[in-house]
Each structure stands twice: as structure tokens, then as C-alpha cells.
């Protein structure tokens, strides 16, 4: 299971836009990785928008607080699962900060749904605002 493979699965099902040409090369760190760690499960809140209680917190803030956020892999799989179950999308009004992942330059990938489709972008690990929110991941 690779980021590029999951992204291509998304592309086959709905509109997508990605800042990166190669997600596998761009995302170099993940708190959890099925290719490294094997099969695992997490719990996230069953809500369309990312966690309201984690707004105005940067990835750096979340790390200091030891709040585990979803990885980009987990966020993309969540998008696919939600779409297959409902025909709808996550993060229509806000943005999930995938704080469990880091980009090669130290940035953090955010994901949301906009007119261009399911969007994967980049953000600074110190960025914080009300629409940028993490999804807390609880490991089982």
C-alpha cells in the first residue's frame, strides 16, 4: 500500500488535485505506516469536519501536546471509505491537517474537498487557524 497507489484509487472514483507529483517521495515520515508496521487500526471521530477541538493548533503544537493526528495515508483511506459508504466527501468547510505525516522539507500535508475535488496540499508545521484542524487518531 503506497500513497501513490491510494491516490490513484481516489482519482478513479472522484475528482482530485495534488500539489505533489510523487506522494511516496514527498511524504517521508509517518507516525504509523502499514508498509513498515504491518496491519493496524485507529479510531477517528465519525464526523464530516475535522475535530473542532483541535482548531487553531499547528502540527508543532499538537506534537508538543502529544496529540496523535492522522497520517496522510489514513486520511486518504478515510476519504475513500466515506465516499464509498455515502457518495459524499469529508472536510467540505474545513481542512484536515495530517499531523501524523511530514514532508521531505518538514512541512505537513493537509487534505480537504473543494471545487477541484479531493485536494492534497502542503502547510508549514507552525501554521494554525480555525479552518485547519487535525483529526485525532486513537490506536487500538
pLDDT by residue (tens digit) across 37-71? 888 889 999 899 999 999 999 999 999 999 999 99
Strand order in 95-97's β-sheet?
16-18, 117-120, 110-114, 95-97, 132-134
pLDDT at residue 37 in the model: 86
Phi, psi of 100 (to 5 degrees): -85, 0
Short-list 107, 74, 78, CA closest to 91: 78
Write down the pTM of the prediction.
0.95
pLDDT at residue 34 in the model: 87
pLDDT at residue 139 in the model: 83
Strand, helix or coil for residue 135: coil
- Is 122 buried (19+), middle (13-18) or exposed (0-12) by CB count in 10 A? middle
pLDDT at residue 1 in the model: 84
pLDDT at residue 138 in the model: 93
* pLDDT tens digit at each of 140 positions of the chain: 899 999 999 999 999 999 999 999 999 999 998 888 888 889 999 899 999 999 999 999 999 999 999 999 999 999 999 999 999 999 999 999 999 999 999 999 999 999 989 999 999 999 999 999 999 999 87
CA distances from 76 to 21, 47, 98, 118, 137 (A): 16, 15, 10, 9, 14
C-alpha cell at 67: 496529540
pLDDT at residue 101 in the model: 97
Domain boundaries, the chain: 3-139
Short-list 109, 128, 138, CA closest to 17: 109
The kind and range of the H/E element at 101 are strand 101-103
Amino acid at each position: 500500500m503506497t500513497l501513490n497507489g491510494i491516490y490513484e484509487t481516489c482519482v478513479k472514483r472522484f475528482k482530485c488535485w495534488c500539489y505533489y507529483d510523487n506522494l511516496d517521495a514527498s511524504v517521508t515520515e509517518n507516525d504509523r505506516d502499514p508498509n513498515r508496521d504491518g496491519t493496524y487500526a485507529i479510531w477517528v471521530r465519525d464526523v464530516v469536519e475535522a475535530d473542532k477541538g483541535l482548531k487553531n493548533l499547528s502540527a508543532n503544537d499538537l506534537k508538543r501536546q502529544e496529540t496523535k493526528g492522522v497520517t496522510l495515508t489514513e486520511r486518504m483511506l478515510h476519504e475513500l471509505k466515506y465516499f464509498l459508504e455515502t457518495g459524499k466527501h469529508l472536510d467540505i468547510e474545513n481542512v484536515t491537517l495530517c499531523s501524523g505525516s511530514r514532508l521531505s522539507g518538514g512541512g505537513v500535508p493537509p487534505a480537504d474537498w473543494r471545487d477541484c475535488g479531493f485536494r492534497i496540499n502542503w502547510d508549514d508545521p507552525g501554521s494554525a487557524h480555525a479552518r485547519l484542524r487535525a483529526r485525532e487518531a486513537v490506536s487500538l
